[in-house]
């Protein structure tokens, strides 16, 4: 499978007199393969927008390398930009224009044949409303128009920053179907979103960024499996045998948490070993199930952004350097 996007050791530092030095990207890596829907996840202030803007040549990095479709950027950006469609910040459209006029204008400016306008309207499901003014559109319709504008060039790589922002569940589902259809047609989609359930449903692979560094990457199933911690749920034929089972497993070095009708084990590499230990004590297992984690728990664990009762987490405290007041602060976060 060919690599469409490659980022290695990317660094970006912002300096300001008031806020000091801020390492927005601190040796960030990313790799996206062709035809994949790749999720780009990170808490507020972790460096997602900086990465995307740097990739598109809107910001100059301080170090590292990037390649799109095998060509080094920003040097080769003029050569590859025609193959990249991106919605990085909510695009503004003329409210009095219709969707068709809007796309026609953009097609003209981008030297795209006008026949492509109806093709993209069809693709994003706006064909029947294309003659209406944009100011009468719902948020979901405006998002579709934004995607349509990014599709005009028939890009090989489509970058969507928070495409589901503000959409209702129906709109989110439609955006999901559209994204999957585009990937099925061979397009590679890089998708940043805070809706983790959505990313888990839609993406083949993910990169998780925290404090300007990659903290996890790979196929979604693999990332989930790697962070499940070998958790296993065990039920026995007789509930009354649970204390004896907990005892036997603890003696064998397994971490056990007892529940009224089952045991939870952690760090189990080979579940078959559990049944062997128990059978050796005359205890018979009725269920031995690996427990899968979801992307949200993996994200919260890796980015240290799980809410802590009684604490208001501040955004990206630890990305500041040279701030004597907060030398060891950790974690990006949710607070303002
Ligand atoms: N122009 C700028 N000047 C100074 N600091 C900046 C600038 N742009 C971004 N930053 C800082 O760089 C860090 C990364 O910001 P960035 O916008 O890339 O994060 P993000 O992951 O996109 O966040 P969000 O999910 O909230 O959009 C933050 O600490 C932010 O305050």
- 48 part of a folded domain: yes
Asked whether residue 220 falls in the same domain as residue 251, the answer is no
193 CB under 6 A from ligand 1?
no
44 CB under 6 A from ligand 1?
yes
Domain CATH for 132: 3.40.50.300
- 190 part of a folded domain: yes
Residue of 285 and 316 predicted with greater confidence: 285
Read off the pLDDT band of 293 (50, 70, 90).
Answer: confident
3-56 tens-digit pLDDT: 999 999 999 999 888 878 889 999 999 999 999 999 999 888 899 999 999 999
* 22 C-alpha to ligand 1 centroid (Å): 9
Asked whether residue 190 falls in the same domain as residue 212, the answer is yes
- pLDDT of 169: 83
Element (H, E) at 172: helix 169-184
Asked whether residue 53 falls in the same domain as residue 93, the answer is yes
Residue of 39 and 172 predicted with greater confidence: 39
Summary mean pLDDT of the chain? 85
Residue 288: CB atoms within 10 A of its CB come to 17
- 311 part of a folded domain: no
Element (H, E) at 248: helix 242-251
Peptide bond connecting 74 to the previous residue in cis, omega within 30 degrees of 0: yes
Out of 14, 20, 213, give the residue to mutate to test ligand 1, the one with the largest number of ligand atoms within 8 Å of its CB.
14
Cα 250 to Cα 260: distance, rounded to the nearest angstrom: 17
Asked whether residue 20 falls in the same domain as residue 127, the answer is yes
- 239 part of a folded domain: yes
Both tokens of 5, joined, read: 């996007």
User: In terms of DSSP bridges, do strands 213-219 and 232-236 run parallel, antiparallel, or are they unpaired?
Assistant: unpaired
Asked whether residue 114 falls in the same domain as residue 16, the answer is yes
102-141 tens-digit pLDDT: 999 999 988 899 999 999 999 888 999 999 999 999 888 8
Domain range enclosing 184: 3-225
Asked whether residue 179 falls in the same domain as residue 251, the answer is no
Asked whether residue 40 falls in the same domain as residue 185, the answer is yes
* 192 C-alpha to ligand 1 centroid (Å): 14
- 191 part of a folded domain: yes
Q: How many domains does the chain have?
A: 2
Least confident among 82-86, 117-121, 172-176, 280-284: 172-176
Note the maximum CA span of the chain.
78
* 315 C-alpha to ligand 1 centroid (Å): 10
Read off the pLDDT band of 318 (50, 70, 90).
Answer: very low
Element (H, E) at 299: helix 295-303
38 CB under 6 A from ligand 1?
no
Determine the Cα angle at 317 with ends 311 and 321, to 5°. 150
- 329 part of a folded domain: no
Q: Calculate what percentage of the chain has a pLDDT beyond 70.
A: 90
Asked whether residue 196 falls in the same domain as residue 270, the answer is no
Q: CA 101 → CA 53, 96, 109, distances in Å?
A: 28, 10, 12
- pLDDT of 286: 92
Contacts of 238 (CB under 8 A, 6+ apart): none
Peptide bond connecting 6 to the previous residue in cis, omega within 30 degrees of 0: no
Residue of 332 and 175 predicted with greater confidence: 175
Q: Is the pLDDT of residue 322 over 80?
A: no
- 328 part of a folded domain: no
Q: Which residues pair with 158 in a beta bridge?
A: 85, 189
Contacts of 198 (CB under 8 A, 6+ apart): 164, 172, 176
183-229 tens-digit pLDDT: 998 899 999 988 888 888 899 999 999 989 999 999 988 888 777 77
Asked whether residue 23 falls in the same domain as residue 140, the answer is yes
Residue 123: CB atoms within 10 A of its CB come to 19
The domain boundary, picked from 225, 245, 274, lies at 225
Asked whether residue 62 falls in the same domain as residue 101, the answer is yes
Averaged pLDDT, 281-300 = 84
Q: CA 87 → CA 52, 166, 191, 259, distances in Å?
A: 10, 15, 10, 48
Write b or e for each residue in 172-199: b if 16 or more Cβ atoms lie within 10 A of its Cβ, otherwise e: bebbbebbbebbeeebbbbbbbbbbebb
Both tokens of 198, joined, read: 């959505």
Cα 304 to Cα 91: distance, rounded to the nearest angstrom: 32
The domain boundary, picked from 254, 272, 290, lies at 290
* 332 C-alpha to ligand 1 centroid (Å): 11
Any idea what DSSP says for residue 132? S
Asked whether residue 174 falls in the same domain as residue 42, the answer is yes
Domain CATH for 284: 3.30.70
Q: Is the pLDDT of residue 330 over 60?
A: no
- pLDDT of 225: 79
* DSSP result, 37-87: EEEEE--TTSSHHHHHHHHTTSS--SEEEEEETTEEETTTHHHHGGGEEEE
305 CB under 6 A from ligand 1?
no
The domain boundary, picked from 225, 245, 272, lies at 225
Asked whether residue 9 falls in the same domain as residue 35, the answer is yes
Residue closest to 306 by CA, chosen among 314, 297, 319? 297
Cα 32 to Cα 2: distance, rounded to the nearest angstrom: 9
Q: What are φ and ψ of residue 222, in 5° steps?
A: -65, -45
- 301 part of a folded domain: no
Rounded to the nearest 10 degrees, the angle between the axes of helix 139-151 and helix 99-109 is 20
Radius of gyration over every alpha carbon of the chain, rounded to an integer in angstroms: 24
């Amino acid at each position: 499978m060919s690599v469409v996007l490659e980022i290695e050791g990317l660094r970006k530092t912002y300096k300001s007199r008031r806020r000091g030095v801020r390492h927005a990207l601190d040796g960030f890596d990313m790799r996206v393969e062709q035809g994949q829907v790749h999720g780009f996840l990170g808490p507020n202030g972790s460096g997602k927008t900086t990465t995307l803007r740097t990739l598109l040549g809107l910001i100059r990095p301080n170090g590292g390398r990037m390649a799109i479709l095998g060509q080094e950027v920003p040097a080769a950006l003029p050569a590859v930009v025609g193959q990249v469609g991106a919605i990085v910040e909510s695009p503004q459209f003329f409210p009095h224009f219709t969707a068709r006029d809007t796309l026609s204008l953009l097609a003209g400016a981008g030297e795209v044949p006008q026949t492509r306008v109806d093709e993209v309207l069809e693709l994003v499901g706006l064909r029947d409303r294309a003659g209406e003014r944009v100011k009468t559109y719902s948020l979901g319709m405006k998002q579709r128009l934004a995607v349509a504008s990014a599709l005009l060039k028939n890009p090989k790589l489509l970058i969507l920053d928070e495409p589901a922002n503000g959409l209702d569940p129906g709109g989110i589902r439609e955006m999901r179907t559209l994204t999957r259809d585009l990937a099925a047609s061979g397009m590679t989609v890089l998708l940043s979103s805070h809706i983790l359930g959505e990313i888990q449903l839609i993406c083949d692979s993910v990169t998780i960024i925290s404090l300007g560094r990659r903290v996890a990457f790979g196929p979604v199933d693999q990332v989930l499996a790697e962070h499940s911690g070998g958790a296993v749920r065990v039920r026995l034929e007789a509930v009354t045998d649970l204390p004896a089972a907990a005892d036997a497993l603890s003696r064998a070095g397994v971490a056990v948490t007892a529940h009224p009708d089952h045991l939870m084990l952690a760090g189990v590499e080979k579940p078959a070993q559990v049944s062997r230990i128990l059978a050796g004590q005359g205890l018979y297992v009725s269920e031995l199930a690996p427990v899968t984690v979801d992307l949200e728990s993996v994200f919260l664990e890796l980015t240290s952004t799980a809410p802590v009762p009684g604490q208001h987490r501040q955004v990206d405290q630890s990305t500041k350097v040279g701030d004597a007041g907060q030398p060891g602060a950790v974690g990006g976060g949710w607070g303002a």
